Amino acid sequence: MSMARPCFRVRRLCQTALSDVAGKKVTTIEGLAPNGDHALQKAWIAEQVPQCGYCQSGQIMKAAELLATNKQPTRDEIVQHMNSNICRCGTYPRIVRAVQRAAKEG
């Protein structure tokens, strides 16, 4: 699969001041894929992951970080990697399924 950034580190926007990333190259959800058709984005739609959706940009970027270094993560690896990102709607099971789908289909 092709990833927008083969090696990057996720920063949580809600905990990062703009000044913290001054001079750095920053990719947000809008830049993940030119037409919003990254394997993760397609998987997110296929699994109907988002509910309120507010956390989902962060969830997708966090998952992209995982797949950039681990193309076929186990379920446990997905759970551990994604554990930092809260989803209050509880879309967690679908997030795992979508990451698995993206890993498989991406």
Q: Which is nearer to another protein, 93 or 104 (CB)?
A: 93
CA 13 to chain centre: 13
| 82: amino acid identity, one letter | M
Distance CA 19, CA 3 (A): 26
Contact call for residues 20 and 76 (beta carbons, < 8 A): no
CA–CA–CA angle 29, 34, 38 (5° rounding): 65
Minimum Å gap between C-beta 62 and another protein is 10
Q: Which is nearer to another protein, 7 or 17 (CB)?
A: 17
User: Binding string, 32-61, against another protein, x = CB under 8 A?
Assistant: x---x----x--xx--xxxxxxxxxx--x-
Give residues in contact with another protein (CB under 8 A). 17, 28-30, 32, 36, 41, 44-45, 48-57, 60, 79-80, 82-96
